A = this chain, B = another copy of it.
Amino acid sequence: MDSLVEDYLNDILDRVRDEDDGAVADYIPELAKADATPLALAMCTNQGWIYSVGDDEREFTMQSISKPFAYAAALQDCGVEKVIETVGMEPSGEAFNELSLDGKTHRPVNPMINAGAIAVNQLINGEDSSVDDRVEVIVDYFSRLAGRQLTVDENVTESETGTADRNLALAHMLRSYDVIVDSAEDAVASYTRQCAIRVTVKDLAVMGATLALGGVQPLTGERILEPLVCRQVQAVMASAGMYDGAGKWMASVGIPAKSGVAGGLMGTLPGQLGIATFSPRLDESGNSVRGAKIFRALSEDMGLHLMSAVTRKGSSVRGIRTRGRTTVFRLQGGLDFSGAEEFLTAAENQDITTPRVIIDARRVTESNPVGRRMVKEGLRRIRENGKKVAVVDPNNVLGKRRFEDGTRVATTAAEIDEQ
């Protein structure tokens, strides 16, 4: 199945590859020197399968993508109450570097803006932690989330520190309201190093999947975060992750996401997937141009949308019965990427002892191209095991009246029996 999904993901990359709008972030010298051409996409499913294409071994710095993960670490270690005393969770329409302190409480309005992220960083490992110790804890957390040892890019750190006026302004303002107690310089140094942790799209996909799966790292099985923490992080990411236009992003793309100025973009679908892209050219809001297009394509083609009814009507496999010489797979709901993947998994795990297999698609309400391609691939594999395969598809949700490979199609089960 891998090649099938990855073919599809490669198709998406091809669609956006020639897009050259946007520009590499220029306010951090080290980033300004970056090669604008790399393009990568990775997905990690709730089963821990990683699909990745393009420059998927290329490392880049997390930058603001570190914010949701640091927020998760702080929530996990300090508890939700302590954290929301320090940083709010309301959206901010403002651009990514403005003050954004709540007018009454003087708390940062949310942890996805820089003021909030600096405050969150300071919560990790306690207020009296040294910068080195705090960064070590963060790198360790992130490494466990990614399932491999991550490192800080000291060149970028150095480079950012030289242009850190905005963050220093925020840190001093936070100090003035007693939101942080460390020196402004140390707070910014600590946050800057958090931002400079190097990852690949595969790392980010796995890290995102861990959030999506309620805190269990899908490769290692380790529970790193409480489900409550993951809910909170993703909820805040949904309302405040994409700066301006969060409402439009959630309506049209529907994947809680966070972007970084080095070109990364990471999203989650609760219970389903972590997704990550890398492409350095940014639009005016600071989001990766090609990355955002890829997310949009995934949402549209694969039905990956938080508000989608398709993938959440319970199992797409309603039941499996053996009637005489026939095994019947009764499918239901939507056949999109996740739905088809479930069917393939169920078919693989079922001991099919009968010579005939019927796929009952009468309760399938909708399908999309990815889903159809994947189901057909599943049928091909069953046939390769020597079974006869028939499909009951009166609504034509699998897309063709005749399969080229000889699979019979009928509109009722009785019709198949007659065949």
Interface residues of A (CB under 8 A from B): 46, 88-91, 93, 97-99, 110, 165-166, 168-173, 175-176, 184, 212-216, 227, 230-232, 234-236, 238-240, 245-248, 250-252, 254, 256, 269-272, 305-322, 333-334, 338, 341-342, 345-346, 349-351, 365-366
Question: Within the assembled complex, what's the spacing in Å between the Cα atoms of A231 and B252?
Answer: 8
- Chain B contacts of A173 at CB under 8 A? 165-166, 169
Q: Given A271-B312, A315-B317, A239 and B231 touching (CB < 8 A)?
A: no
Q: Given A236-B247, A309-B213, A350 and B319 touching (CB < 8 A)?
A: yes
- Chain B contacts of A175 at CB under 8 A? 165
The reply to whether B230 and A309 contact each other, CB–CB distance below 8 Å, is: yes
What's the least CB distance linking A191 to chain B, in Å? 14
- Chain B contacts of A272 at CB under 8 A? 312-313
Question: Within the assembled complex, what's the spacing in Å between the Cα atoms of A246 and B235?
Answer: 10
- Interface centre among A212, A239, A309, A311, by most chain B C-beta atoms within 10 angstroms, is A309
For the complex of A and B, 7 pairs with smallest distance between CB atoms: A271-B312, A315-B315, A214-B309, A169-B172, A165-B176, A169-B173, A90-B247
Task: List 12 additional contacts besides A235-B247, A271-B333; criterion CB under 8 Å.
Answer: A91-B91, A91-B93, A91-B246, A110-B247, A166-B172, A168-B184, A230-B309, A240-B247, A271-B311, A314-B341, A319-B349, A321-B350
Question: Within the assembled complex, what's the spacing in Å between the Cα atoms of A214 and B365?
Answer: 10
Task: Select which of B97, B235, B338 is within 8 A of A314 by beta carbon.
Answer: B338
- 17 pairs of residues in contact across A and B, judged by CB atoms under 8 Å: A46-B309, A90-B246, A165-B172, A169-B169, A169-B172, A214-B308, A227-B309, A227-B310, A235-B254, A236-B247, A239-B239, A239-B247, A270-B312, A314-B342, A315-B315, A315-B346, A321-B351
- Chain B contacts of A318 at CB under 8 A? 349
Q: Given A270-B307, A307-B234, A319-B346, A91 and B227 touching (CB < 8 A)?
A: no
For A321, the closest partner residue in chain B by CB is: B351
- Chain B contacts of A236 at CB under 8 A? 247, 251
- Chain B contacts of A333 at CB under 8 A? 271
What's the least CB distance linking A178 to chain B, in Å? 10
What's the least CB distance linking A322 to chain B, in Å? 8
Task: Select which of B216, B250, B346 is within 8 A of A235 by beta carbon.
Answer: B250
Task: Select which of B166, B176, B312 is within 8 A of A312 by beta carbon.
Answer: B312
What's the least CB distance linking A57 to chain B, in Å? 28
What's the least CB distance linking A47 to chain B, in Å? 8
Question: Within the assembled complex, what's the spacing in Å between the Cα atoms of A166 and B341?
Answer: 52
Task: Select which of B234, B247, B313, B320 is within 8 A of A320 by beta carbon.
Answer: B320
The reply to whether B238 and A307 contact each other, CB–CB distance below 8 Å, is: yes
The reply to whether B246 and A250 contact each other, CB–CB distance below 8 Å, is: no
Task: Select which of B88, B91, B230 is within 8 A of A239 by beta carbon.
Answer: B91
The reply to whether B247 and A91 contact each other, CB–CB distance below 8 Å, is: yes
Question: Within the assembled complex, what's the spacing in Å between the Cα atoms of A232 and B319?
Answer: 31
What's the least CB distance linking A230 to chain B, in Å? 6
For A223, the closest partner residue in chain B by CB is: B365
Task: Select which of B172, B184, B306, B317 is within 8 A of A270 by beta carbon.
Answer: B306
Question: Within the assembled complex, what's the spacing in Å between the Cα atoms of A89 and B91?
Answer: 13
For A300, the closest partner residue in chain B by CB is: B228
Question: Within the assembled complex, what's the spacing in Å between the Cα atoms of A235 and B251?
Answer: 5
Question: Within the assembled complex, what's the spacing in Å between the Cα atoms of A176 and B28?
Answer: 12
- Chain B contacts of A238 at CB under 8 A? 238-239, 250, 306-307
- Interface centre among A216, A227, A341, by most chain B C-beta atoms within 10 angstroms, is A227
